[in-house]
Structure 1
Amino acid sequence: MCISLLRALGSELGSDPEDEPRVVVPHDEDLKYRILYEVHDTPVGGHLVREKTYGSVSSMYLWHTLYKWVGTYVRTCETCQRTKSAPNVAAPLANLPVPTGCWQSISMDFVFGLPKDKADNTDIVVFANRLSKMAHVAAVPDTVDGEDTPSLF
Structure 2
Amino acid sequence: MTSPIEKLREYGYELPAPKVPVASYVPVARSGNLLYVSGQISANDQGVVTGLLGDTMNVVQGGNAAELSALNVLSQIVHAAGVPLEDIKRIVKVTVLVASTPDFTEQHLVANGCSNLLVAILGEKGKHARAAFGVASLPFGAAVEIEAIVEV
With structure 2 as the length reference, what TM-score do the two structures score? 0.26
Larger relative contact order, structure 1 or 2 (CA cutoff 8 Å, min sep 6): 2
Q: Which has the larger radius of gyration?
A: 1
More strand by share: 2
